[in-house]
Amino acid sequence: MSNEFPEIPEIQKPESPERHPIEIWPGKPPKSSPIPLEGRPHRVDEFPEELSREPEPSTERVRGGNPNNPNPPSGTGTRGDGGKSDGNPIRLPSVDVISTYWSFRNSDKWGIAVSKNGLYQYAFCIQENDLSLNLKQAVSVAQTFIVEHQFHHFLIDRAVCTLEAVLSISGGTNYGYSHWEKFHSKLRGSHMPYSSLEESLSCAYARRQLKKGESAKGFETLLGHQPQGYQLMNGDGSKIVTSGGLVSHQQAVSELLSEYIRDRNGRALGLHGLMLYKNHLKGTDGDPFFTIDGKKTELFVYYAS
């Protein structure tokens, strides 16, 4: 019998696939083409259940946005790298890079445009932080985060439009004067080209719209990737941090709308009613309609590959 021990072969470490950034708007040259609003619009609940198509890998990250639509309310996405607070090395683009709200003020078409690849990227990030979720569940959370965030920008835009009409009738401003345009023009010239209060209110609304059974942990993961100033809210989105401290979402909305129509800080009471939430107490289920050329039209969500 040999006294030599048999040689134990070296165990190879499993190979992990190399990470590639996902192309957000495939085929769209950087800084030249707008986010497409093409093809048949889909309601959120009409999004296809089968999501087997993998996003195409790419070495470029393309920023969406329409240069002909001046400063959509969702912000410019200039802080799109996102700040991750949990130590995860993955960087996600901001919600305003992978999607946008197109205002009824400047666009032939108006609605919400969402990059499918950006949606998948958010879903994959959720899965990596919560292995108990399958892809369909992760996509559902990502979809709520993205679409409801942009939908709230529409609610704010419509509320400001109502205020503009009231002020013009009462003689407070000239007919056709746009407080909305002035507000965003002022933001473009500031060091932070978006309103932290508006972005946080929109994230908080998306949190309140989270469906029963959808992962709050997944939502928090995505919130942690957003630019500085998007997280001024409590855990369930019912309260917002404002210049006056932690207040209810109703008070925060009134403060934001007051900022739109006034040059100084301060809050006119009761303006939150202009948001047309179906549940004003909870601040949920906003009305998706706007009257264009005398016709009541529903806001649509467009998913671009």
Residue 216 within any structural domain of the chain: yes
The angle formed by the CA atoms of residues 177, 183 and 185, to the nearest 5 degrees, is 95
pLDDT for position 182: 82
The residues of the chain scoring below 70 in pLDDT are: 1-23, 25-90, 107-108, 169-177, 180, 263-269, 305
Residue 214 within any structural domain of the chain: yes
The angle formed by the CA atoms of residues 243, 80 and 215, to the nearest 5 degrees, is 80
Q: Provide φ and ψ at 144, rounded to 5°.
A: -60, -45
Number of domains in the chain: 1
**Burial bucket for residue 202 (CB in 10 Å: 0-12, 13-18, 19+):** buried
Residue 9 within any structural domain of the chain: no
Residue 156 within any structural domain of the chain: yes
Question: Is the CB of residue 69 less than 8 Å from the CB of residue 37?
Answer: no
SS3 of residue 109 by DSSP: coil
- The pair of structure tokens assigned to 284 is 């949920």
Q: In terms of DSSP bridges, do strands 245-248 and 239-242 run parallel, antiparallel, or are they unpaired?
A: antiparallel
**Rounded Cα–Cα distance for residues 80 and 99 (Å):** 11
pLDDT for position 134: 92
Residue 11 within any structural domain of the chain: no
Residue 21 within any structural domain of the chain: no
Residue 26 within any structural domain of the chain: no
CA nearest neighbour of 93 among 265, 222, 196 = 222
Model confidence over 104-138: pLDDT tens digits? 887 667 889 998 889 999 999 999 999 899 999 99
pTM attached to this predicted model: 0.74
**Rounded Cα–Cα distance for residues 235 and 146 (Å):** 17
Residue 101 within any structural domain of the chain: yes
Structural domain harbouring 206: 44-304
Q: In terms of DSSP bridges, do strands 284-286 and 289-292 run parallel, antiparallel, or are they unpaired?
A: unpaired
Angle in degrees, 0-180, between the axes of helices 179-188 and 249-261, rounded to the nearest 10: 90
